Amino acid sequence: MTLPLPAGASPIGPQEFQDMVDRVERYIGQVEKNMQRLFDNCNRAAVVLPAFLADDLRPRLERLRDLTRRLFLELTKVVANPGWPPGVLSAAEDWTTRVGGPVSGLATRLTPDQMKLDNKWEGAAADAYAETLPTQKAAIEGIKQLTDVLDTNLTKIGWGIVAMWAGLAVALAAFVAELIVEVGAAATVVGAPPAAAGAGVSTAKVIGLVGTLVVAFLTYVGLTVDALSGMRQKLAGHEPYPGGSWPRSTTTDLEDGSLRDGDGTDWRMKY
């Protein structure tokens, strides 16, 4: 199962996401209430049903009780760790608007014509300084590539959390509707055994759906982690960051900033 991501969607606001979480928690409350009503109806029916029907009902209720316990255990794990996509999506946007964008603008200025290095000065030191520009430009462009990776993958995680909660809401809404039908059937007394069995099937189904949503999200995060690992490896690589550090000139020509000392590295004014 894959988590659908809205194309070109605007960031979800804090209140919007909180409303989504609250909706899921309301559905969980309705599941608990209707499940209790179902058990109450089935227990009352077991008292008046013929022995063979009562004997058929009891194991179904036991299985339903076990499934209900498993369901609430899985839901508790999700509700206890809801995530916060507004923060994740905001961080994704900041990496581009506050880092990637400004850095990209700086990279366009790291050219000899933009820096105007050779307008007034010449000499070995001036040439050495100009020759550092390509590596500096490549390093800055590398930062933009890295911020793009961060933006893209954080955005995927943020919307992945949203998609998981939306999926939970849909699954629980359908489950509540099915439980309401089973509660009504159990109230007829003779319908209690099939109602307990039907509720067991519905509960097992929603447990599977919850598990699938969680596994899909974790798989999705795993793919994102792989992308971020690649980014870390690039930072630690030799291009464009030799030894994992910012590139520096290895020439000694830059060490002499003198104007006239006769050593061949003098900076000279152009006339």
Per-residue pLDDT tens over the stretch 155-187: 999 999 999 999 999 999 999 999 999 999 999
Name the residue with higher pLDDT: 212 or 232.
212
> Rounded distance, CA 92 to CA 94, Å?
5
Query: What's the whole-number mean pLDDT along residues 92-99?
Result: 92
b/e 189-213 (16+ beta carbons within 10 angstroms → b)? bebbbebbbbbbebbeebbebbeeb
Q: Taking the CB of residue 122, how many other CB atoms lie within 10 A of it?
A: 15
Q: How far apart are CA 24 and CA 20, in angstroms?
A: 6
Segment among 95-109, 110-124, 198-212 with least mean pLDDT: 110-124
**Mean pLDDT lowest for which of 1-5, 54-58, 99-103, 228-232?**
1-5
Angle at 217 between CA 208 and CA 236, to 5 degrees: 150
For residue 38, give the nearest of 67, 81, 75 by alpha carbon: 67
pLDDT of residue 27: 98
* 121 DSSP 8-state letter: E
Residues 6+ apart with CB under 8 A from 181: 198
User: Of 46-50, 62-66, 141-145, 157-161, which gets the smallest average pLDDT?
Assistant: 141-145
pLDDT of residue 160: 92
The string over 133-164, giving b where at least 16 C-beta atoms fall within 10 Å of a residue's C-beta and e elsewhere, is bebbbebbbbbbebbebbbebbbbbbbbbbbb
The answer, yes or no, to whether residue 120 has pLDDT greater than 70, is: no
pLDDT at position 95, please?
92
* pTM score of the predicted model: 0.78
Cβ distance 198 to 57 under 8 Å?
A: no
- Which tokens belong to 271? 């006339």
Residue with the two structure tokens 């982690």: 225
Identify the pLDDT of residue 230: 75
Average pLDDT over residues 241-247: 72
pLDDT at residue 7 in the model: 43
Q: What percent of the chain has pLDDT over 90?
A: 54
**122-144 per-position pLDDT tens digit:** 666 666 666 777 788 888 888 88
- What are 1-30's pLDDT values in tens digits? 544 444 445 568 999 999 999 999 999 999
Angle at the Cα of 186 (from 182 to 188), degrees rounded to 5? Answer: 125
Q: For residues 140-152, give the mean pLDDT.
A: 87
| Per-residue pLDDT tens digits for 253-271 | 455 555 555 555 555 555 4
pLDDT at 39 over 80: yes
Six-digit token pair at 47? 């008292």
Between CA 159 and CA 5 the distance in angstroms is 6
According to the model, what pLDDT value does residue 62 have?
97
Helix ranges (DSSP H) in the chain: 14-48, 51-80, 85-94, 101-107, 112-115, 124-131, 133-186, 192-236
Q: Running DSSP on this structure, what letter comes out for residue 269?
A: E
pLDDT at 199: 97
User: 158 CB contacts (<8 Å, ≥6 apart)?
Assistant: 11, 12, 85, 86, 88, 89, 92
